[in-house]
Amino acid sequence: MKNSVKNIIITFVIGCAVFVVANFISDGFEFDSVSDFLIDFSFYQLYSFVLGYSNMYFFGYMDRRQWKKNETVKRIVIGVFGSTVITLIGLFVLRASTSVFYVGNTFETFLANEKLKYYQFGLWVTLTIVAIFHVIYFYNKYQQNKIKEQKVIAGTASAKFDALKNQLDPHFLFNSLNVLTSLIEENPDNAQKFTTSLSKVYRYVLEQKNKELVTVDEELQFAKTYMSLLKMRFEDSIVFSMPEKASNPESKVVPLSLQLLLENAVKHNMVTSSKPLHIKIYEDGDSLVIENNLQPKQIVKKSSGVGLSNIMQRYDLLTNRKINVNKQSHRFAVAIPMLTKQISIMRTEQTPSALDDSYMRALNHVDELKAFYYSLISYFLVIPFLIFINYRTSWGFQWFWFPMFGWGIGLAIQAFKVFVNDGAFGRKWEKRKMEEFMKNEKNNWD
């Protein structure tokens, strides 16, 4: 239904435009009476409706066909040729019907007087419109393909990011159980305390692992809790220092990044009372640095490849800023970027459909607002021009009132829809939904 109304409006506008152009070129809007004007205008609308709808149907048929990527030229050639044939047939039928049923000539008389030049103007107008339609069509197709490509890229990034996050849960549990196993053999009392503390730590892992970013303060607090677990096992063999809070409370890092780096430091270095492992966390500009003295183990267990690689890959999906790894003879440091801007991985895929709809409605409202202003500007440019033409050609019949009032009513309806209508899907509803969307986006930061 909506497409039918749209097509009727398009054909009507085209008919009006062709009527103005044709009369301006030929006789300068000279009509003997209002009746002649209305009859001439009606014929132009009839031609526009028949030729417009026939070409729209053909264009829709061409669009429904399955075209290969390398058949663009073929599609254009067939489209132009088909529109030419359809237009010539339509013009012939319309002219024949007008001559026989309106003028009263016989069909033989019509054929005898018919000339090719009678078709030139209609064919020229149709091919011009068809060319414009093709340009718009292929431009829209190009934009749609670009959007699809971006959705595929973003969807791949989203899936990869989720896969990386899902690695953290079993990885943390596996390594924590290894620590617990070792602790049971060495210190059963601490093993019991470790088990109690581990449940609290693991809760944080489950809560934060699905977030894209968490505040540095949250990570620092978690790192402090995690190190307390490790100190149950290694006691004074680990010396740990870190700030209580970040200098910028809004700064963020990927979740569990500190835990993975601390875990790697313990895994790859000797941790003994004679050679304690010194781990220090501090800020350096807009980066958070995790530094430890380098005392590699002689025999290192095979790495799962989750730790530092996981952090790097997640940062690659979130920002252009890179993790800086600095390895020296007696020092190993990793600087992870502290981010201050909100980042989203394929938000349109992860946002519930209702919120996505409200966001799109808000965007549509902006588009409607721009369309209204464009229409308003066009109105104040075109109407004075039409009044001037009317004044210079046939001021005795002031036909400019028709487009001025008709277009004015359309503008009034458009203005009501954009500025006044507050119904179920009106302006306030869109505003309320947009605020709800932004509120939920803000909650994703917390």
The residue out of 313, 331, 346 marking a domain boundary is 346
Question: 387 and 367 share a domain?
Answer: yes
Question: 101 and 181 share a domain?
Answer: no
Is residue 120 in some structural domain?
no
Is residue 416 in some structural domain?
yes
Question: 313 and 407 share a domain?
Answer: no
Range of the domain at 312: 156-346
Work out how many domains the chain is built from and give that number: 3
Q: Which helix (H) or strand (E) holds 281?
A: strand 277-284
The residue out of 64, 94, 114 marking a domain boundary is 114
Q: Specify the pLDDT at position 334.
A: 94
By CB neighbour count within 10 A (0-12 exposed, 13-18 middle, 19+ buried), where does 285 fall? exposed
Question: 393 and 424 share a domain?
Answer: yes
Is residue 127 in some structural domain?
no
104: which residues sit within 8 A by CB, 6+ positions away? none
Name the amino acid, one letter, at 323.
Answer: I
Is residue 315 in some structural domain?
yes
C-alpha span between 328 and 369 (Å, rounded) = 60
- Please compute the mean of the pLDDT values over residues 96-112 and round it to a whole number: 88
Question: 70 and 186 share a domain?
Answer: no
Inform me whether the pLDDT recorded for 365 exceeds 70: no
Question: 324 and 376 share a domain?
Answer: no
Q: CA Rg, the chain, in Å? A: 36
Share of residues in the chain with pLDDT > 70 (%): 74
Question: 170 and 279 share a domain?
Answer: yes
The residue out of 114, 136, 167 marking a domain boundary is 114
Question: 327 and 446 share a domain?
Answer: no
Residue 17's alpha-carbon distances to 26, 48, 129, 313, 321, in angstroms, are 14, 10, 11, 58, 55
Is residue 409 in some structural domain?
yes
Give yes or no for a contact between 171 and 304, defined as CB atoms under 8 angstroms apart.
yes
Is residue 287 in some structural domain?
yes
Q: In CATH, what number is assigned to the domain containing residue 299?
A: 3.30.565
Per-residue pLDDT band at 152 (split at 50, 70, 90)? low
Question: 359 and 342 share a domain?
Answer: no
Give yes or no for a contact between 334 and 323, defined as CB atoms under 8 angstroms apart.
yes
Give yes or no for a contact between 189 and 208, defined as CB atoms under 8 angstroms apart.
no
| Higher-confidence position of 284 and 401 | 284
| Higher-confidence position of 346 and 176 | 176
Is residue 211 in some structural domain?
yes
Q: Where is average pLDDT lowest: 75-84, 85-94, 202-211, 417-426?
A: 417-426
Is residue 139 in some structural domain?
no
The alpha helices in 187-215, defined as continuous H runs, are 188-208
| Higher-confidence position of 170 and 423 | 170
Strands 238-241 and 277-284: parallel
Q: Specify the pLDDT at position 12.
A: 83
Q: Specify the pLDDT at position 154.
A: 55
Inform me whether the pLDDT recorded for 210 exceeds 60: yes
| Higher-confidence position of 48 and 142 | 48
Residue 249's alpha-carbon distances to 56, 113, 246, 446, in angstroms, are 59, 87, 6, 12
Question: 214 and 304 share a domain?
Answer: yes
**Six token digits for residue 98:** 């007008």
Find, among 28, 80, 23, the residue nearest to 55 by Cα: 80
Question: 368 and 330 share a domain?
Answer: no
Give yes or no for a contact between 224 and 256, defined as CB atoms under 8 angstroms apart.
no
Question: 52 and 178 share a domain?
Answer: no
418: which residues sit within 8 A by CB, 6+ positions away? 365, 368, 369, 372, 427
pTM recorded for the entire structure: 0.43
| Higher-confidence position of 438 and 376 | 376
Per-residue pLDDT band at 282 (split at 50, 70, 90)? very high
